């Protein structure tokens, strides 16, 4: 059976405003270690160039919002086979 092209939990009509995204990031990093700004920016650049980025915000491999995931210190890239974030 062919793999669906999009994220299994989303439709293209799903959009997250920049304001909502910032609020979700604030909530996610509460009580958790945040990645240093330079590391978060590096991760986001890799996510933005990834073929698994859906709708400009969502990882097709795990369904997360990449802006949130990239800012969490202990997060890992879920790209199949090997992390795209490895140093």
Residue 47, Cβ neighbours under 10 Å: how many?
22
More confident residue, 14 or 85: 85
CA 22 to CA 60: how far, in whole Å? Answer: 21
- Judged against a pLDDT cut of 60, whether residue 71 lies above it is answered with yes
Q: How confident is the model at residue 16 (pLDDT cuts 50, 70, 90)?
A: confident
Percent of the chain scoring above 90 in pLDDT: 62
3-state SS track over the chain: CCCCCCCCCCCCCCCCCHHHHHHHHHHHHCCCCECCHHHHHHHHHHHHCCCCEECCCEECCCCCEHHHHHHECCCCCCCCCCCCCCC
More confident residue, 31 or 5: 31
CA 55 to CA 16: how far, in whole Å? Answer: 10
Domain boundaries, the chain: 38-81
Q: How confident is the model at residue 2 (pLDDT cuts 50, 70, 90)?
A: very low
pLDDT the model gives residue 21: 87
- Judged against a pLDDT cut of 70, whether residue 13 lies above it is answered with no
Q: How confident is the model at residue 12 (pLDDT cuts 50, 70, 90)?
A: low
Any residues with CB less than 8 A from the CB of 82 and at least 6 apart, and which? none
């Amino acid at each position: 059976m062919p793999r669906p092209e999009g994220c299994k939990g989303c439709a293209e009509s799903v959009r997250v405003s920049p304001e909502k995204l910032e609020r979700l990031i604030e909530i996610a990093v509460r009580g958790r270690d945040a990645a240093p700004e330079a590391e978060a920016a590096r991760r986001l650049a890799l996510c933005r160039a990834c073929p698994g980025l859906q709708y400009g915000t969502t990882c097709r491999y795990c369904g997360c919002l990449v802006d949130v995931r990239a800012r969490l210190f202990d997060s890992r890239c879920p790209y199949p086979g090997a992390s795209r974030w490895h140093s």
